[in-house]
Structure 1
Amino acid sequence: MAERTGSYVLAERDLTLIETGPSLSVPFIKEGLSHLGFESKDIKNIIVTHIHLDHSGGLGLLLQECPYATVYVHKKGARHLCEPRRLIQGAKMVYKDEFDRLFDPVLPVDTDVIKVARHNSTLSIGRDAALTFFETPGHANHHIGIFDEKSGIFYSGDTLGVIYPSLKRTGIELVLPSASPNQFDPDCMLASMELVQKVGPRRIAFGHFGLGEDPGAVYSQITYWLPLFMETGHEHFLQDGTHEQLKDALFSKVKEYLQNFTDDIPDEAYKSIELDLLIGSMGILDYYKRKSRQ
């Protein structure tokens, strides 16, 4: 599906890539680099915001052509890049028969090329160009965000949700929270959002998909939707509802919201939203199951 997972190229002295996406994204990354006048071997830094396979699954494959690259990742994620068995098992539970089509192959990463992206640490990538890493849990507890002070862009991965470019082209900037099994935590997500607000970026770069030009609008959307998602999810949890039922309930709320703007919503937007809400419903119900055991 087009416009689903983004990789960002920072063309500084040390060519830097943020997110690889899954392995099926690697040919598109190489094509994009070529359009910019680069090759895979020119990459010096690869940063993954978190290790879910839609963000890091193509890392091992891409590294075969990046002999000079160093990988930066949260300390809790590093070992899973080197031994991705549990990542693969977890993704198969979510994506089932679609796993091979979406993610195969998932290749291990050599320990020697990995460095931990520590909270508040910086990475110089060129003259007057440096990135600052921040721990931003919520979507996952092994999540980092990256702030590029030179451009004013904060690379948020999934912590600040998902944006829909097909809607944006119609003048609607919808941002929905991104929940996933099995580490989603809404309180941590709000705390991470507050951290980003304090950093004060001029724009936000989403893992799915593209740039948010108005950070204030992003924060407002998360503040609106996240409590609504959690309230609806709690009701379904108490009623022993399935994640499919929760997805349908959330989709109805989002659809009703969008139809306040126009009845002419692109089909591709609805397809993306339904997919995100299906996975998100798993994450929300999983959160309440974990809470009930505490």
Structure 2
Amino acid sequence: MIGYQQQYLGYGIHCIDAHYVRQGQACCYLLVEDGGVAVIETGTNHTVSAISEALASLGLTAEAVRYVIPTHVHLDHAGGAGLLMQHYPDAQLVVHPRGARHLADPAKLIQGVVAVYGESAYRELYGELLAVPEERITSAEDGLGLSLDRRTLEIRHTPGHAEHHFCLWDEASNGWFTGDTFGLAYLTSALGGDRFIMPTTTPVQFAPERLLSSLDLLMSYQPQRVYLTHYGLLKAPERYVMLLREQINAWCEMALCLDAGPERESIICQRITDLTLARIKARWPDADMAMVEEDLAMDLELNAQGLEVWLQRQQQ
């Protein structure tokens, strides 16, 4: 049985399910070093109680939390930032400079989500976004080092999924906290516990050349581990990065061959779905393909939307 909720991954790193959409969809991490804590990714407001429970189970108080660090401001990664900062008054929120203003004043984030999903779905998925006081926000420039007692986290800007994205390098674990830059690889019983990796090309800032360069940056550190937000620890990332590159290139080449029109996005969605399921079927011929398709459907639709927005930018 696949375990969610809370899992210890070694090196002081705890994986916490974010209670987003379904179990195993998104997670956040507690990095604990000598009693100090960095919360990496916030999930949504619905994640806050899980983080509090995890800290209590470790015998840690609210005062132990030094940093709250979303990799970017998409709401499955940063939606709980405001509420978390109220819970942890000694913490500093660390965010990409391009994302800081949106967490100080989340009105535009809220408007964008409501426009796409509607008011009721926004509140069901995310709760009410709360502003973070500007004096508690650190705008993290590329290369910034964050000290957590004897441990240092290095922030590197990694555009491609979004312009306001960064990843965190943890030398102690020889691992990256990758947000969405290293794609998604859900834990699923459909593959017998194995992992299939897929890029995230969601709207509105997908830029394939920049994403490929960001992957090159991550791999230049020769990591042994990546900590995915979607989902969990992935060891030996060199086994997976080529698959990410191949899919990014194949999807973009396919999309560029399509004529503009009202049906193009749905065609893209069907094409990347077919390509993805064919890859999985070839690697895991006995996989429960209906379960696989159900698990990936939402992400494939979002990826198609991102590819369509990217195509429209190319034509302007």
Question: What do the CA deviations read for 1:123-166 (whole angstroms, capped 9, x no partner)?
Answer: 11022x11000000000000001000011110110011111111
1:237–1:265 distance in 2 versus 1, CA, 3 Å: farther
Is residue 34 from structure 1 mapped to residue 56 from structure 2 by the alignment? yes
Which AA in structure 2 matches 1:123? L
Measured in 1, the distance between the counterparts of 2:245 and 2:162 equals 18
**Among candidates 11, 33, 42, match of residue 12 of structure 1:** 33
Greater CA deviation, 262-271 or 137-146?
262-271
Residue pair 1:237, 1:285 contacting (<8 A) in 2 also:
no
Greater CA deviation, 159-168 or 145-154?
159-168
Which AA in structure 2 matches 1:6? C
> Superposition pairs for residues 25-64 of structure 1, below 5 Å?
25-64=47-86
Residue pair 1:80, 1:86 contacting (<8 A) in 2 also:
yes
> Superposition pairs for residues 33-112 of structure 1, below 5 Å?
33-96=55-118, 98-112=121-135
Is residue 275 from structure 1 mapped to residue 295 from structure 2 by the alignment? no
Residue pair 2:191, 2:287 contacting (<8 A) in 1 also:
no
Measured in 1, the distance between the counterparts of 2:27 and 2:183 equals 13
Greater CA deviation, 171-180 or 209-218?
171-180
Is residue 213 from structure 1 mapped to residue 253 from structure 2 by the alignment? no
Q: How many angstroms does 1:33 deviate by?
A: 2.0
Residue pair 2:154, 2:170 contacting (<8 A) in 1 also:
yes
Q: How many angstroms does 1:238 deviate by?
A: 3.4
> Superposition pairs for residues 166-245 of structure 1, below 5 Å?
166=188, 170-236=192-258, 238=260, 240-245=262-267
Question: What do the CA deviations read for 1:22-59 (whole angstroms, capped 9, x no partner)?
Answer: 11111222222222222444211111100111100011
Q: % of aligned pairs identical?
A: 30
Which AA in structure 1 matches 2:73? I
Residue pair 2:85, 2:93 contacting (<8 A) in 1 also:
no
1:125–1:269 distance in 2 versus 1, CA, 3 Å: farther
RMSD between aligned residues: 1.8
Gaps spanning 5+ residues in structure 1: where? none
1:238–1:20 distance in 2 versus 1, CA, 3 Å: same
Measured in 1, the distance between the counterparts of 2:223 and 2:161 equals 20
Is residue 152 from structure 1 mapped to residue 170 from structure 2 by the alignment? no
Greater CA deviation, 39-48 or 165-174?
165-174
Gaps spanning 5+ residues in structure 2: where? 1-21
Q: 3-state DSSP class of the match of 2:155? A: strand
Q: 3-state DSSP class of the match of 1:178? A: coil
Question: What do the CA deviations read for 1:212-262 (whole angstroms, capped 9, x no partner)?
Answer: 101112211111111122123223453543433322221122112212213
Moved over 6 A (4+): none
Greater CA deviation, 213-222 or 258-267?
258-267
Residue pair 2:97, 2:140 contacting (<8 A) in 1 also:
yes
